[in-house]
Amino acid sequence: MISSLLSEYNIVLASQSPRRKELLKLVGLTFNVKCGPEFDEVFPDDMSAEKVPLFLAECKSDNFGELSDRDILITSDTVVAIDGNVLGKPENREDAIRMIKSLSGRNHQVHTGVYLRAEGKQKGFLSTTNVFFRELTNSEIEYYVDEYKPYDKAGAYGIQEWIGAVGVEKIEGSYFNVMGLPVQQLYTELIKFVGA
């Protein structure tokens, strides 16, 4: 059952990601999708990987513009990091293959920053999941990239796709976070946010 407190608000998801929209629907929330103006998702070179997604989520919130009286804006950003280095979205096939090869046989982190804003208050939080890949063969990596074309995904993979089914040995943390939105934590934080 959805908290009655949340039903009094107009929840706005500022994201073009179909996965985030799908994930937010899972928790039964009624929401609108509306994106703010586009901006360059740049961050300071010396910023640690775990701080990047929350920094970008806050920038997206600031860039969105004014909110109405009962609006709650949700902005978020997800990064894949290995050895403290952020892997963005691949530029092409070769870049995607390179990224997945760097993850093969190792564990890496997926960080999602979520920022909530309403009139007069805001709050951000971070979710981190450790993902462990088995050693992938070159042909497996090339098959995945050619069949699924993961050019819109941070780290060049989607855990909900073939590569997640055959390559991910285990995760520590939220599975949905790796898909792009830690919905359990978001739901809990939303209830706290409206009750504060």
Residues labelled catalytic: 77
Q: What is the C-alpha to C-alpha distance for residues 121 and 119, in angstroms, rounded to an integer?
A: 6
List the Cα angle 81/157/45 in 5-degree steps. Answer: 30
Per residue in 161-184, is it b (16+ CB within 10 Å) or e — as a string?
Answer: eebbeebbeebebbbbbbbbbbbe
Q: Which residues contact 173 (CB under 8 A, 6 or more apart)?
A: 110, 127, 128, 129, 130
Sign of the dihedral through C-alpha 67, 89, 110, 3: positive
